[in-house]
Amino acid sequence: MRRMCRLALILFCCAQAYTQPQPAPPAACDEQMVPMRDGVRLQTVICRPRDVDQPLPILFTRTPYGVPGLQNPRMPSFGDGNLYIWVTQNIRGRFKSEGTFVMQRSPRDSSDPKAVDESTDAYDSIEWLVRNLPKNNGRVGMYGISYSGWTTAMAMLLPHPALKAVSEQASPADMFLGDDFHHNGAFRLSYGFEYAALLESSKEENTHFNFDRYDTYQWYLGLGPLSNANSRYFHGKLPTWNDFVNHPSYDAFWKKQVFATYFTHSTVPNLNVAGWWDQEDFYGPQKIYELMKRSDPNDWNRFVAGPWNHGGWARPDCTRLGPIDFGRNTCDDFRRDVMGPWFAYWLYGKGELTRAEATTFQTGSNTWKSYEAWPPRQGFAPRKLYFHAGGKLSWDPPDAAGQEAFDSYVSDPANPVPYRHRPITATYPGPEWPVWLLEDQRFVEHRPDVLSWQTEPLADSVTITGDIVADLFASTTGSDSDWVVKLIDVYPDDFQKQPPGSTPGSAVSAPEQKWDLNGYELMIADEVFRGRFRSSFENPEPITPNQVAEYRIDLHTNDHVFLKGHRIMVQVQSTWFPLIDRNPQKFVPNIFEAQAADYIKVTQRIYRSPAQASSIVLPVETGPR
């Protein structure tokens, strides 16, 4: 039986979930097997509003997750009265589509006339659609979230002349440096393991891995070294897991999939969409926007970010996420003011193209902002918040009295720091995974292997807009190490506003419950860095034990106000389990082949002396823009 994903459970695959409170017009749908240039046919569902005779533009999505059913389909709507022919297609090798599924199929060799990839499949599909669908107006838009966002981005490498605009939403851009499977070379264990099982265990359905422990923290710890995944469970049958094992560094395999490797210049208008609490692909849309901006002579590249998790902007109601109330339905704002006008302009010729290149929802103040670029070039400047003794965080650098100052902890791979509250349920089907980035970080404060520094209560609000960087001076007694950094907004202990909440970890409303946000510790930015890659992601090397090294860790961009009376906190730790696999902390050539004896306890030091002043660099507002 086909298991179609639900937004609250698998936000990765909700590309066709744009809904509005008002009903969309009834639709007539049919299914076609659309031929590609090599003879492979792809399962494609085409839905057209009933009783509409005027020519309509086509909105097209390509997905690995399954197409809508033909009976009583839910027609997406932007709520602006503009109608579209909605087309959804399963990519090669998924469900009824012919051919072989390849996870993130690498772009083809363009010199080979017989080669195919996602760009040629998109081109051939659009060619067939505009030639064969009655009463289309010859204009096509593409959009999609996550994997479907990536297939949308791939279509821009070989754009069909009828492709007039796209909206890449939460697409991965680099699976080794910042998206689903790795962050700065650190393997995202629970996600990578469960996602490979989800898509590659069966062609005809999305199959969740059957854990025999409710708390997957216990299960993954019991798994032991990563080599046990194949010996006990996958037995070499999942291609993606085998790729993880065979390519532990940033080699040609990963680089073949990187968007930057193939993108040369922008010819199709693109609306890039990101969520501040996207648990899967926050890096991707920012990177794609950055790359496209370098060659955008027509100024057709736009960036939007809001208070959403992965694909969360497709929900009917985005007034809140987890316990945080934003005071307005930001999804309605996005559909009405951004995405609807985007496609109306390019596919209907209606309205005007907004002059703002970046539109972001500023959390804390809970207001929409417009900027001339992302990150903004004016009105913000980098300022350092320094680590001090006694867990203090200050704009003042450390003084000479602490020349050998450091804070330390013991990192033990046998007792790793959980990345969210235990019990940690399976990533899929959830529902805790989609909102874990908003969890109260007080649950790890008692652990001796987590260091925290925080400011005094702020006398005035602090606005940060743009790039956030952690600058760590650190040493380890081992020869490899992970460094996890979290930027946190600490609510006052007497914070009285208690917005309607949800059941813990859920994105679904529970109106009878009230969240107590007194003293709440909300993550604003976070990242992990695997120390072996400090000099090169291509050529990992051991860390010299007990030698101080500087690690500049990109925490990416944000737009947030730390309100008056709140505190700014930074936490540092070396395990984040099972989100990130356990670093043995002893250098081995390939962690996927490490043995149990390779995992060792080490002592970590974070330095805060004048010469080695660890800090977090924030893009602080300098005055009126």
- Least-confidence region, from 20-34, 200-214, 499-513: 499-513
- Report, in this order, helix, strand and coil percent for the chain, each rounded to 5: 20, 30, 50
Q: How far apart are CA 358 and CA 271, in angstroms?
A: 10
3-class secondary-structure state, position 424: coil
For the stretch 225-281, pLDDT in tens is 999 999 999 999 999 999 999 999 999 999 998 988 888 777 899 999 999 999 999
Total count of residues recorded for the chain: 625
pLDDT tens digits along 220-233 = 999 999 999 999 99
Q: Who has greater pLDDT, 340 or 22?
A: 340
Q: How far is CA 467 from the centre of its chain?
A: 16
Q: Which pLDDT tens digit goes with each residue over 554-602?
A: 999 999 999 999 999 999 999 999 999 999 999 999 999 999 999 999 9
Predicted local distance difference test score (pLDDT) of residue 13: 41
Q: Which residues contact 607 (CB under 8 A, 6 or more apart)?
A: 405, 406, 473, 474, 475, 548, 613, 614
Lowest mean pLDDT among 400-409, 437-446, 449-458: 400-409
Distance separating alpha carbons of residues 79 and 317, to the nearest angstrom: 14
Q: Please give the pLDDT value at position 145.
A: 96
Tell me the pairing of strands 358-362 and 301-306. Answer: parallel
Q: Which amino acid is at 473?
A: F
If pLDDT is split at 50, 70 and 90, which confidence band does 514 have? Answer: low
Residue whose entry in the numeric block shows the structure tokens 């998790």: 309
Phi/psi of residue 233, nearest 5 degrees: -125, -55
Q: Which two three-digit tokens encode residue 310?
A: 């992965």
Confidence of residue 158 (pLDDT cuts 50, 70, 90): very high
B/e letters for 395-409, b = 16+ CB within 10 Å, e = fewer, are eeebeeeeeebbbeb
Q: Residue 503 pLDDT more than 90? A: no
Q: Among 108-117, 209-218, 257-266, which is the least confidently predicted range?
A: 257-266
- Domains of the chain with bracketed CATH: 13-169+278-302 (3.40.50.1820), 380-621 (2.60.120.260)
Q: 6 falls in which pLDDT band (50, 70, 90)?
A: very low
Reply yes or no on whether the pLDDT at 20 is more than 50. no
% residues pLDDT > 70 (the chain): 91
Task: With a cut of 60, say whether residue 1 has pLDDT above it.
Answer: no
Q: What is the mean pLDDT of the chain?
A: 90
Q: What is the pLDDT of residues 466-491, one digit of tens each?
A: 999 999 999 999 999 999 999 999 99
Q: Are 45 and 87 in contact (CB under 8 A)?
A: yes
State pLDDT tens for residues 369-399. 999 999 999 999 999 999 999 999 999 999 8
Is the confidence at residue 84, as pLDDT, over 50? yes
Q: How confident is the model at residue 25 (pLDDT cuts 50, 70, 90)?
A: low
- What amino acid occupies position 415? N
Short-list 567, 515, 563, 568, CA closest to 324 = 515
CA distance linking residue 71 with residue 49, whole number of Å: 14
Angle at 498 between CA 494 and CA 502, to 5 degrees: 135
Query: DSSP character for 413?
Result: T
Using alpha carbons only, how large is the chain's radius of gyration in Å?
24
Q: Which residues contact 71 (CB under 8 A, 6 or more apart)?
A: none
Torsion of CA 543, 544, 550, 551, to 10 degrees: 10
Q: Match 């690498």 to its residue by tokens.
A: 106
Tokens of 191: 């996600």
The first and second tokens of residue 306, run together, are 């809001």
SS3 state of residue 75: coil
Q: How confident is the model at residue 69 (pLDDT cuts 50, 70, 90)?
A: confident
Instruction: Answer whether 4's CB lies under 8 Å from 65's CB.
Output: yes
**CA proximity to 394, closest of 468, 451, 453, 455:** 455
Reported as a single tens digit per residue, the pLDDT across 524-554 is 999 999 999 999 999 999 999 999 999 999 9
pLDDT at 402 over 60: no
C-alpha 232/C-alpha 387 separation (Å) is: 44
Cα distances from 377 to residues 371, 467, 470, 525, 557, in angstroms, run 9, 11, 20, 20, 13
The whole-number pLDDT of residue 260 equals 83
Using pLDDT thresholds of 50, 70 and 90, give the confidence band for residue 3. Answer: very low
For residue 572, the SS3 value is strand
Give 504's pLDDT tier (boundaries 50, 70, 90).
very low
Contact 524, 569 (CB under 8 A): no
- Lowest mean pLDDT: which of 102-116, 309-323, 433-447, 570-584? 102-116
Mapped onto helix, strand or coil, the DSSP state of residue 129 is helix
**What average pLDDT score do residues 77-106 get?**
92
The model's pLDDT over 345-356, given as tens digits with 9 standing for 90+, comes to 999 999 988 778
pLDDT at 507: 41
* pLDDT of 198: 85
Asked if 301 and 270 count as a contact pair (C-beta separation under 8 A), the reply is yes
- How much is the pLDDT for 405? 93
The count of other CB atoms within 10 Å of the CB of residue 516 is 13
456 and 567 Cβ atoms separated by less than 8 Å: yes
User: Which is more confidently placed, 125 or 68?
Assistant: 125
Least confident residue range of 105-119, 159-173, 590-604 = 105-119
Name the one residue in this structure whose structure tokens are 């990416």: 556
> How high is the pLDDT of residue 193?
95
Q: Tell me how far apart the alpha carbons of residues 470 and 199 are, in angstroms, rounded to a whole number.
A: 35
- Residue 143 has phi, psi (to 5 degrees) of -155, 165
Peptide bond into 76 cis (omega under 30): no
- pLDDT class for 7, splitting at 50, 70, 90? very low
Amino acid 486: pLDDT: 98
Report whether pLDDT(27) > 70.
Answer: yes
Contact 569, 464 (CB under 8 A): no
Q: How many CB atoms lie within 10 A of CB 77?
A: 22
Q: pLDDT of 291-318, one tens digit each?
A: 999 888 888 999 999 999 999 999 999 9
Taking alpha carbons only, the member of 567, 419, 441 closest to residue 492 is 567
Q: Which amino acid is at 354?
A: T
Percent of the chain with pLDDT over 90: 79
What does the buried/exposed string (b/e) look like for 563-586 if buried means 16 or more CB atoms within 10 Å of the residue's CB?
A: bebbbbbbbbbbbbbbbbbbbbbb
Q: What is the mean pLDDT of residues 88-112?
A: 92
Cβ 42 vs Cβ 98: under 8 Å: yes
pTM of the model: 0.92
Tokens 């279509």, located at residue: 155
Cα dihedral across residues 554, 555, 561, 562: positive or negative? negative
Selection from 109-123, 176-190, 257-271, 402-416 with the highest mean pLDDT: 176-190
Amino acid at 284: G
Q: Is 478 helix (H, G, I), strand (E, B) or coil?
A: coil
3-state per-residue secondary structure call for 188-254: CHHHHHHHHHHHHCCCCCCCCCCCCCCCHHHHHHHHCCCCHHHHHHHCCCCHHHHHHHHCCCCCHHH
Say what the pLDDT of residue 496 is.
65
pLDDT reported for residue 74:
65
pLDDT at 200: 82
